[in-house]
Amino acid sequence: MTRGPLLAVQIGLSLVIVIWGATYPLIKSLLHWLSPMELMLARFGIGSLLLLPVLWRWRGEIGGLLRRQPWRVLLVALLGVPGYHLSLNIGTRLMMADTDTEDSAAMLASILVATVPAWTALFSRLTGLERLSGRQWLGQGLAFAGVVFIVSRGDIGAVRLTSGALWALGAAVSWALYSVIARPLLAGARSSLPLTSIALVLGTLLMVPFSPAGVLGRLGAMPASAWGQLLFIAVLSTVAGYLVWAKAIQVMTATGAAAYIYFIPIVSALVSILFFGERLGLLALLGGGLILGGVLLIQRARIPARPPGGLPSRSAAR
């Protein structure tokens, strides 16, 4: 890939990271009106409707994907929709209910999900897509230590893995697996749209049977401000975000694209503090610093990926 298109992808990914950072406090706000499952279904239901023209336009390529790799596409759909988003919603709701974390639930969720690059690098190594240097392993250790520091509230001798923190970490693992498993399907593809659109829509349809009763009534009872928040995360964070992310992992390494996620807590903290009155304690700041320091080591020592076919990725070697 030439420098121009790669730069465009990097700029687009940077904008999406800003949008995703703003999404965490919006999720917390919407969870006052909707349950975790209801929020996921409302968000992706709107997104799926917007993607129907894309499904029709790429129906031939989508049919080919489903014939060649049905189980991989299904796994990508499950990891990318309920695997990540339902886990994130549940984790945020549980942290909102915990008196120790209720004032910082959105920021803590964003910090814990910011371990995605570390998980992505690990899974890429285990699947043979990328190799990790000693410096990268040190970065992984720092990031993990940051997570332990946050969930233990600084008392390492008495680590208390709250259920909310575990669900948020589960969301991070799901997103990392989504990226690593999707990348071989995107390698050499004419466009990232077919896989992204069918995975998003399929993942949503599989969850419809689990929709709680009365969800339409609760959606109708939401004020205009909540609907504005829902449309923001459905259109910008979900549809635009997924499409840009798929393009990014198609032209970059999965680890390289995932590194941008470490900047999400910064945006989330700014939005949460300025607009939603959240407070972030010193211990969470220290843990976040360890996580961000870890990614710095991971990215500065990144080794070119080996995409399907065995040749190093030119975009990764830049």
**pLDDT for res 139:** 78
The answer to whether residue 129 is domain-embedded is no
**Cβ count within 10 A of residue 284:** 22
Residue found under tokens 């706000």 = 29
- Whole-angstrom Cα distance, residue 146 to residue 154? 10
Residue 262 in this model has a pLDDT that exceeds 60: yes
Residue 287 lies in a domain: no
Cβ pair 146, 288 in contact under 8 A: yes
For the segment 40-46, the average pLDDT, to the nearest whole number, is 95
User: Is 133 or 158 the better-scoring residue by pLDDT?
Assistant: 133
DSSP 185-242: HHTT-S-SHHHHHHHHHHHHHHHGGGPPTTHHHHHHTS-HHHHHHHHIIIIIIIIIHH
| pLDDT the model gives residue 32 | 93
- 36 has pLDDT over 80: yes
Domain membership flag for residue 292: no
Cβ pair 182, 199 in contact under 8 A:
yes
| Cα 11 from chain centre | 18
Q: How many domains does the chain have?
A: 1
**146: in domain:** no
User: 197-226, pLDDT tens digit by residue?
Assistant: 999 999 999 999 998 888 888 999 999 999
Q: Where is pLDDT greater, at 100 or 98?
A: 98
Q: What angle do CA 102, 106, 107 make, to 5 degrees?
A: 105
Q: Is the pLDDT of residue 304 over 70?
A: no
Write out 94-149 in H/E/C secondary structure: HHHHCCCCHHHHHHHHHHHHCCHHHHHHHHHHHCCCCCCCHHHHHHHHHHHHHHHH
| Interval 246-261: pLDDT, tens | 888 887 777 777 777 7
Measured CA to CA, the distance from residue 111 to residue 72 in angstroms comes to 29
Task: Decide: 242 and 84 in contact? Cβ < 8 Å.
Answer: no
Average pLDDT over residues 103-107: 80
Which residue matches tokens 């390289």? 256
Instruction: Please tell me whether residue 179 adopts helix, strand or coil conformation.
Output: helix
- Please indicate, yes or no, if residue 144 is contained in any of the structural domains: no
Range of the domain at 46: 3-114+167-281
pTM of the model: 0.80
d(CA 178, CA 200): 12
| Residue type (1 letter), 11 | I
Quick one: average pLDDT of 41-53?
95
User: Which phi and psi angles does 307 have, rounded to 5°?
Assistant: -70, 170
Ramachandran assignment for 281, one of left (phi > 0), alpha (psi -120 to 50 degrees), beta (any other) = beta
Residues 113-124 as b or e (16 or more Cβ within 10 Å = b): bbbbbbbbbbbb
Domain contains 189? yes
Amino acid present at 27: I
**Whether residue 303 has pLDDT greater than 70:** no
Average model confidence (pLDDT) for the chain?
82
User: Does 149 map to a domain?
Assistant: no
> Mean of the pLDDT values across residues 34-63?
94
The DSSP element (H or E) to which 5 belongs, if any, is helix 3-30
Residue at 202 is within a domain:
yes
Contacts of 312 (CB under 8 A, 6+ apart): 304, 305, 306
